[in-house]
Chain A
Amino acid sequence: MSDADEERMFADLRRRANRRALLIGLVGCAVAAALFIPVLGFHMIGRPLRWQSVALIMLLPVLVGAIGFTAAWWVTRFPPGALTPRMTLRQSDRVQRYMSRLYLFYPILIGLIAFDWALLVQRVLKSGWQVLDVTEGLVLTFGVVAYVLALTGWGVGRMSRLIYDEELFRSFRTRGYIAGFWSVMGGLPLILALGLARPAWAVEALPVLIAVGISVPAVTIGLLNRRAERDA
């Protein structure tokens, strides 16, 4: 494939990627609406927990999400074999730059989740589980898992794997994971010590430790990549 053909293909792929991002945003809004409108509509916020109600509330957004995201992917999917390893590598610098920028925002994104999670733990310890607590807990857990997947690249396609596993970026990831491991190891004794004195505080502090454990590798990878770009 000539350079001109590759450029044409890139333009087409970029159009599809933009359309996909827009559709994912719309489906995300639809999922949020499907999750929260029934909760408010059923006036279940303050009611005691009933697992049937939780299942009912979660079923609709899960269905909307599954159908919506599958449709968004199908409509904007790349033609089979369109993206070659050579084309992927040509884009690797740009994609890694975007990924690093996103990683630098991780402390804010994960911090918000951790803050909400700590409030949730506090609420549950005080007045027990209620329907909204369960849905909120599930959404927060899903958020954390999604961020970890975006950080590790677990489950991405073969071509995206080339970008994650590209030698320099892989070394950044390794250094990031090591920094994350030691940040968690440093925080764990503190949490354990806190647990001896105030068990409830230790439980509330756990989301913060998880947030640190995810943010530190993300920021490390982001900063290392940024420094390499500056030197390049």
Chain B
Amino acid sequence: MPDRRLIVRLKAARTEAGLTQAELALKVGVSRKTINTVENGVFVPSTILALGLAQALGLTVEALFSLAPDLSSDL
């Protein structure tokens, strides 16, 4: 079940960088399945993995992940 609190833009960023899930997985040191579940919003990554993904794609964490608008307005 995807977590609705998190908006994930990993798939778009990865495609833009021209990487497959397997290649990105090897870059950040996780399995391809992990990348897939993060992209689908099924798995919420740890801070370390989020930073690793951002670094591997040359982006900021905020460019990859953000809070859903209704939730961020509550904070």
Binding site for B on A (CB under 8 A): 85-86, 89-90, 92-93, 96, 162, 166-169, 171, 228-229, 231-232
Contact = CB atoms under 8 A, between A and B. Distances in A.
A232 B36 contact: yes
A232 B32 contact: yes
Nearest to B2: A231
23 contacts: A85-B29, A89-B29, A89-B30, A89-B31, A92-B31, A96-B31, A96-B33, A162-B29, A166-B31, A167-B34, A167-B49, A168-B30, A168-B37, A168-B43, A169-B31, A171-B43, A228-B33, A228-B36, A228-B43, A229-B33, A231-B36, A231-B40, A232-B32
B42 interface: yes
A36 to B, nearest CB: 42
Contacts of A229: 33
Contacts of B45: 167
B30 A228 contact: no
Contacts of A89: 25-26, 29-31
Contacts of A167: 30, 34, 45-46, 49
B26 A166 contact: no
A88 to B, nearest CB: 10
Interface string B32-72: 11101100101101100100000000000000000000000
A166 B30 contact: yes
Contacts of A171: 43
Nearest to A227: B42
Contact of A232 (B26, B30, B33, B49): B33
Nearest to B36: A232
B33 A86 contact: no
B26 A168 contact: no
Interface in B4-43: 22, 25-26, 29-34, 36-37, 40, 42-43
Contacts of A92: 30-31
